[in-house]
Structure 1
Amino acid sequence: MTSRSCPCGLPQAYEACCGRYHSGSAAAPTAEALMRSRYCAFVKGDAGYLLRTWHPRTRPGTLELDPRMRWTGLEILETTDGSAFHAVGTVEFRASYRGGSLHERSRFERVDGAWVYVDGEFVR
Structure 2
Amino acid sequence: MNITYTEKEIDQVAKMVIEKSTNKVLLFHAPMGAGKTTLIKAIAKHLGVVDAGNSPTFGIVNEYENKSSHLLAYHFDFYRLNDEMEALDMGFEDYLNKNVWVFIEWPNKIESFLPEKSTNIYIEVIDMTTRRITIS
**TM-score under structure 2 length normalisation:** 0.28
Larger RCO (CA under 8 A, 6+ residues apart) = 2
- The structure whose residues are more often helix, as a share, is 2
**TM-score under structure 1 length normalisation:** 0.30
- The structure whose residues are more often strand, as a share, is 1
